[in-house]
Amino acid sequence: MSVSLWDELLYNYQKRLVEHYKNPCVEYSLIIHNHGDRAGASIAHPHSQIMASAIIPSAIERELENSQKYFKRNDRCVFCDLVNDELKTKERLIFENEHFLATTAYAARFPFEVWVMPKSHQSDFVQMDKDARIQLGQIMGRVFASLDQKLKDPDYNFYIHTAPPRQGDPSAYYHWHIEILPRLTDMGGYELGTADFIDVVSPEKAALFLKN
Ligand SMILES: [Zn+2]
Ligand SMILES: [Zn+2]
């Protein structure tokens, strides 16, 4: 996809989120993108979906609670610390530009799990301006070109985690991000029985493979 098409897609995500949150029943709205059978895609062509719910989903609640705890303890955003650490060590860094970085996840659930984060602190995906959208489009394009070439068009999910508008004010401690999950392996009994994941490819090796 071209950068201008990414920009258009990301802008539409922003507009749909704004519309959803005008409805007072909506506590959380999640943008997802599923590709392929293994990713549970319900339609064959590339598509995104937006799912509104009257509750905060448990994964988001956990991120909000724990990033708030980290902020209280350290007076810093945990995601900003993560970004700075990844930029310093470069062990999991795949791509970066002025405003964004893409890294394999430090505690990845799936082989080649990639997180894309803004380098500067921002809690709400909707606040991203056009200049940043173009840069995000460049990074997303590079990540998906790499996944496509290196992993031969894998099935995948990605979704956007952003601050909910009606849960206090998480703007100081929450930092929006995109999680990209290639679906090369299935969840087994251990994953289902514990909700903990065994990743068979180290994130450091996965980053080397994707960036070269
Ligand atoms: Zn931050
Ligand atoms: Zn997240």
C-alpha–C-alpha distance, residues 157 and 179, integer Å: 8
pLDDT of 74: 98
Q: Are residues 116 and 140 in contact, defined by beta-carbon separation less than 8 angstroms?
A: yes
Classify each residue of 98-131 as buried b or exposed e, where b means 16 or more C-beta atoms within 10 Å of its C-beta: ebbbbbbbeebbbbbbbbbbbbebbbbbbebeee
Provide the CATH number for the domain around residue 23. Answer: 3.30.428.10
Give the mean pLDDT of 8-18. Answer: 97
Ligand sitting nearest the alpha carbon of 174: 1
Distance between Cα 30 and ligand 2 center (Å): 11
Distance between Cα 103 and ligand 2 center (Å): 14
C-alpha–C-alpha distance, residues 107 and 72, integer Å: 23
Q: What proportion of the chain, given as a percentage, has pLDDT over 90?
A: 84
Distance between Cα 60 and ligand 2 center (Å): 7
Q: What proportion of the chain, given as a percentage, has pLDDT over 70?
A: 100
Ligand sitting nearest the alpha carbon of 78: 1
Q: Are residues 208 and 94 in contact, defined by beta-carbon separation less than 8 angstroms?
A: no
Distance between Cα 177 and ligand 2 center (Å): 6
Backbone angles phi and psi of 105, in degrees to 5: -70, 135
pLDDT of 66: 97
C-alpha–C-alpha distance, residues 109 and 147, integer Å: 17
Q: Are residues 114 and 106 in contact, defined by beta-carbon separation less than 8 angstroms?
A: no
pLDDT of 1: 86
pLDDT in tens, 67-76: 999 999 999 9
Three-class secondary structure of residue 19 per DSSP: helix
Give me the number of domains the chain comprises: 1
Distance between Cα 178 and ligand 2 center (Å): 7
pLDDT in tens, 150-205: 999 999 999 999 999 887 899 999 999 999 999 998 888 988 899 889 999 999 99
Distance between Cα 79 and ligand 1 center (Å): 5
pLDDT of 44: 81
Asked if the model's pLDDT at residue 96 lies above 80, the reply is yes
pLDDT of 185: 86
Per-residue CA distances from 85 to 10, 14, 92, 119 (Å): 27, 28, 10, 11
C-alpha–C-alpha distance, residues 208 and 56, integer Å: 36
Q: Are residues 174 and 158 in contact, defined by beta-carbon separation less than 8 angstroms?
A: no
pTM exceeds 0.85: yes
pLDDT, averaged across the chain? 94
Give the mean pLDDT of 23-47. Answer: 89
Question: Which residues form the domain of 56?
Answer: 3-211
